[in-house]
Structures are given as C-alpha cells and as structure tokens.
C-alpha cells in the first residue's frame, strides 16, 4: 500500500530544495536556472512519530522504521507547458498517478534568484501553473470523449463522466475545487490520470527575514485561496537545519517561535489530507509504523505489510497504544485482558499495536 505526493511549481521557487530537505539528502539538484530538474526525482520520506520511540524502548527494539510517503519532484512548469514549452507536458505524466499535489509557491524576493515571469506575484504564479494543469487534463479527456487511439473502448458511464469533467475544464474550472463529483467519480477520474481532481495544498516559500512576521506575498495568497491549506515555510532555513545537531536545531526553532519544523508540518498535512493514520508492529528486531487509510479493515491493514497477510488473513491481536504503554508491553497487556482478538470487519485504529495471524 503506497501513498505519494507530487511536487509542482514554477522554476526557481525552491521546489527542488524543499524536495531535498524532505528527503534529508540531496537527491535533486537545486540550481538557480530554469529546468535544472530534468528527470523526475522520487524518494520515500519518513513521517516521524514520537510514539514509535516510546514503543521501541518498552520492547527493546533494535531499530525504528517510520511510515513513509513517496514524494515525486518534476521539472518546474512554465506558461505553455501543456503545449510543449519549457520541458513540456510529458513531465506531467510523472505525477498523474500520485495521490496528492503539493504546490510550492515563491513568496520571497531575491535579486540573485531569477523568476521566469520577471516579477514576484504568488497568486499569478498559482493561476499559471494550475491553468497548465487544466489544459493538460483537457487534452487527456478530449481523447477519452473522442475515442482517439487504436482499440480504445470506454463505457457509457466513463464517457459521461469524462464529458462532465471536460466541460468544467474547458470553462477554466480546477476540478478539485468544483464540488461537482462524488467519491466514486473522483476515484474514476484519478484512474484516468486526471491531475486537477487530486487534493492539493500550497507551500509558501518565504525568506528568513519575512518568515517570522509574514509579508504581502503570503497575505495575497491567503486572500485569494481562503479555503485552501497554505503552509508558510522557509526552505532555506530548513536546509540549514539539516547541518545542525538536535540542540542547535531547537535553538533555531525557538528563535523563530516554531513548535515544530516545517518538514514535519508539511508531511503531517499531506498525511492528514490523504486520510491516513498509523498502526504499529513491535518486536525485538524493530518497532515499525504502517500508513493506512483511516477506514482500513484489518485484512487491508495487514496487506500493508505483505499481500499474503491480506489474502490469508485469519485474525489480528490488537492492543491500543495507551494500553500497551500503561502495561509496559505485550505480556502484561495480555495478562490484564487488554489484548483483543479482532476479525475481518475490524477497522484498525490510529495507534493500534497489531500482530496478524494468516495462512496461505
């Protein structure tokens, strides 16, 4: 079971630098010229959870493995990308199968870092990128409606949905903002590879000087998109923190009045928007967190470990996180009757410590 986040934005907004910070290593080149990210970069990002540290100490686990999100970083988009400008529409194909869009927007001034449009205007930048995504999706759906391609066959229901979405796109409507689709239709459009139906949030990249108090660019973004999630972050600051030890990082965050770093906030936002939570498997070898949908039944949760666990699912031994900590581990939890045996219809809860029984 994988969950992925696609990172989009104009060139030189700090997108690839943020990608580096998220991965905590330099896997994407971050340079001051357009199109420095030629091939899409992918990496799995750990979603930190302090509960795992506590569980590992109780059980004496040798290592901790956090749940992850896959991040996909593509080349910066420019005006006309859907028609082949810049690096062209083909790079959008790399994010057509992600689950969530993270749109990085420039909210800082720096004369040494060029802007492809020649001036800083976050709202215009968002509209430019999202217009290109609308154009790209229109092209995909136009093929569906007109059945372009050899041997292409679509059901009447699929064609009706494609026409409905295409009409909206042709009128400049970003599909996830429309409120015109039910859950089943959203899932079907995702299968078609439609980007604008995906949930999205914005990361406002700010300078260190403006990060404490905000600036007019952030204000304009919040005013234009009042119902959307906008996370102010100083990517440069986050990158610098990678070079500091824990104590030095704490001092820097205290200086900026931050309760947690931007990295964790971005990841938690993505995690929540994807309707995910975490269950745990704990043993002497490892304490591990697994990302699952909040409505996942026990067999599906077991499948996050291995498909055989789902196919041959028998039952799950479950202890809540609070009970596990209070009882100081598996043995006492069992003795006190805190361990429950759950079946196929059980919805796994956030923080459950699980042991699955299966047969294949």
Instruction: Name the strand (E) or helix (H) holding 321.
Output: helix 321-326
* Pick from 282, 301, 276: nearest CA to 339: 282
DSSP 3-state of 329: coil
Classify residue 213 as left (phi > 0), alpha (psi -120 to 50) or beta: alpha
Known binding-site residue numbers for ATP: 12-17
Classify residue 172 as left (phi > 0), alpha (psi -120 to 50) or beta: left
Residue 149, Cβ neighbours under 10 Å: how many?
9
Structural tokens at position 80: 């006309």
Computed on alpha carbons and rounded to an integer, the radius of gyration of the chain in Å comes to: 23
The β-bridge partners of 64 are 287
* Pick from 69, 9, 98: nearest CA to 276: 69
> Residue 102 and residue 29: Cα distance in Å, rounded?
19
DSSP 3-state of 64: strand
Residues 6+ positions from 145 with CB-CB distance below 8 Å: 159, 162, 163, 166
CB 247 within 8 A of CB 260: no
> Residue 222 and residue 227: Cα distance in Å, rounded?
9
Structural tokens at position 273: 């928007």
Going by their DSSP bridges, the two strands 340-342 and 313-319 should be labelled as: antiparallel
Known binding-site residue numbers: 12-17
């Amino acid at each position: 079971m994988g969950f992925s986040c696609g990172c989009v934005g104009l060139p030189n907004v700090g997108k690839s630098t943020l990608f580096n910070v998220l991965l905590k290593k330099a896997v994407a080149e971050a340079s001051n010229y357009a199109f420095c990210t030629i091939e899409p970069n992918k990496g799995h990002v750990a979603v930190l959870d302090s509960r795992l540290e506590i569980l590992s100490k109780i059980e004496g686990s040798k290592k901790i493995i956090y749940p992850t999100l896959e991040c996909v970083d593509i080349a910066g988009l420019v005006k006309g990308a859907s028609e082949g400008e810049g690096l062209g529409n083909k790079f959008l194909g790399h994010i057509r199968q992600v689950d969530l869009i993270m749109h990085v927007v420039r909210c800082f001034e720096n004369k040494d870092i060029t802007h492809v449009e020649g001036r800083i205007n976050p709202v215009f930048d968002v509209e430019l990128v999202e217009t290109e995504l609308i154009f790209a999706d229109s092209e995909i759906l136009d093929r569906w409606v007109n059945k372009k391609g050899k041997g292409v066959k679509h059901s009447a229901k699929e064609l009706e949905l494609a026409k409905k979405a295409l009409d909206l796109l042709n009128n400049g409507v970003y599909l996830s903002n429309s409120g015109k689709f039910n859950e089943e239709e959203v899932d079907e459009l995702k299968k078609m590879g439609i980007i604008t139906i995906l949930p999205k949030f914005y990361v406002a990249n700010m300078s260190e000087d403006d990060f404490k108090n905000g600036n007019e660019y952030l204000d304009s973004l919040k005013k234009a998109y009042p119902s959307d999630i906008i996370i102010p972050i100083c990517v440069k600051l986050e990158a610098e923190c990678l070079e500091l030890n824990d104590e030095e990082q704490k001092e820097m965050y205290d200086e900026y009045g931050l309760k947690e770093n931007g990295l964790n906030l971005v990841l938690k936002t993505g995690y929540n928007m994807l309707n995910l939570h975490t269950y745990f498997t704990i043993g002497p070898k490892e304490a591990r967190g697994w990302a699952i949908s909040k409505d996942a039944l026990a067999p599906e949760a077991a499948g996050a470990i291995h498909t055989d666990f789902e196919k041959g699912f028998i039952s799950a031994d479950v202890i809540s996180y609070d009970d596990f900590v209070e009882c100081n581990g598996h043995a006492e939890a069992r003795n006190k009757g805190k361990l429950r045996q759950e079946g196929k219809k059980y919805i796994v809860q956030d923080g459950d410590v699980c042991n699955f029984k299966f047969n294949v």
